[in-house]
Structure 1
Amino acid sequence: MMELLVLGGAVLAVLVVLNLLLTFALIRRVRVLQEMVSKGPAKDPALPQPGDAVGAFQAATPQGGLLTDEALQSGVNLVGFFTTGCHPCATVRAQLLESPPKLPLMAFVEGRADDPAARELGTTLSAIAQVAYITEADSVAKAFRSAGYPTLIRVENGTVAAAGHQLRDVLP
């Protein structure tokens, strides 16, 4: 009987030690995750970086106007890239329409003006922005190195000041 009691105590001691080791491993992992969260989300490396110059571009608006890099050479402007069928684009668009930024906004919609979905997106954005329709091969996409949709870029005096996929990434 005594041997059984000693064996049970030994098994219990081993289980307690294993539980303690697992607890320490879990605490270590939680600390690593806390450090990752405190640093904030990682920036998308494909986005233009602060200090990058805006390249030359031209894009025609549906009204016959022309959006060029010249308009961004002075002052502070916001540039946005949107596409159809993009839930994050719809969220950013709703935020922009609900509370338009104080900055002049150029919105580039990926697609053709004769595509009903692209036209609807461009029409809603035209209430707060100058809108042009582009393709991925256009000079606009090359000038900004837009990285996915939506991409928002704050341009100050022809230079990228901030870039991100959400308004909070770019608005001062």
Structure 2
Amino acid sequence: MDYLVVAVVVALVSTALNLLLTFGVIRKLREHDTRLAPPPASDSGPPTGSTIAPLTATTVAGHQVSIVDADRVTLVGFFTEGCRPCADIIPEFLDRHARTGVAAIAVVVTDATDGETYAERLAEVDVLVEPSGGSWATAFRVSSFPTLCLVDRGGVILGSGNAFTDLPTLTAA
């Protein structure tokens, strides 16, 4: 009988210790998951309803463009060389411009002197090339690429983000 009591006590202590260790492992795994989780996606660009200061620039083709234009709503896209999501969204950027007739400005941000690849692919819209921290990327609060912004005639942001789903629907003019 004494052996039976000892066996039960040993079994209960072992079970309690096993549960305690299991809870400790689960807690550590949750901490590990929290540390490894990607940071929440933050949309790049200015908040909807904010106003962009008037900006002007000379395009790669030599034309003057301005972000504030009384005659048009403007789609502005920021791209950087070597960015796979940028390369993937360029065809849709060009398609939206062609389908809707909305004015489009593509800003290629690069510190390299060979930033012509994206500039050439985007040649059917107004293209600016500027270094990191340039005036357009700074004014539009670009923190990741690609960044898309829809700007009304007075420079008010209608929507911004990293995908077309972040913008209001563009309709044909």
Q: Give the alignment's TM-score, normalised by structure 1.
A: 0.69
Q: The residue matched to 1:43 in structure 2 has which SS?
A: coil
Alpha-carbon deviation of 1:56?
Answer: 1.8
Match of 1:3 in 2: 5
Matching of residue 48 in structure 1 with residue 10 in structure 2: no
Match of 1:38 in 2: none
Quick check: 1:67–1:132 contact (8 Å CA) kept in 2?
Answer: no
Quick check: 1:55–1:142 contact (8 Å CA) kept in 2?
Answer: no
Matching of residue 104 in structure 1 with residue 103 in structure 2: yes
Quick check: 1:154–1:162 contact (8 Å CA) kept in 2?
Answer: yes
Matching of residue 14 in structure 1 with residue 29 in structure 2: no
* The one of 148, 160, 168 aligned to 1:163: 160
* Structure number having the greater helix percentage: 1
RMSD: 3.4
Q: The residue matched to 1:163 in structure 2 has which SS?
A: strand
Cα distance 1:86–1:24, how it changes in 2: closer, same or farther (>3 A)?
closer
Match of 1:85 in 2: 82
CA separation in 1, counterparts of 2:133 and 2:24? 53
Match of 1:63 in 2: 61
Q: Percent identity?
A: 27
Counterpart of 1:47, as a letter, is G
Cα deviation digits, residues 22-47 of structure 1 (max 9, x gap): 69969xx6xxx9xxxxxxx5434x63
Alpha-carbon deviation of 1:137?
Answer: 5.4
Cα distance 1:49–1:122, how it changes in 2: closer, same or farther (>3 A)?
same
Cα deviation digits, residues 88-107 of structure 1 (max 9, x gap): 3222224435x435333210
Quick check: 2:149–2:167 contact (8 Å CA) kept in 1?
Answer: yes
CA separation in 1, counterparts of 2:15 and 2:64? 78
Q: Give the alignment's TM-score, normalised by structure 2.
A: 0.68
CA separation in 2, counterparts of 1:57 and 1:123? 23
CA separation in 1, counterparts of 2:156 and 2:137? 15
Counterpart of 1:10, as a letter, is L
Quick check: 1:56–1:143 contact (8 Å CA) kept in 2?
Answer: no
Trace 1:145-160 onto structure 2 (pairs within 5 A). 145-157=141-153, 158-160=155-157
CA separation in 2, counterparts of 1:12 and 1:95? 62
Task: Give unpaired runs (5+ residues) of structure 1.
Answer: 34-40
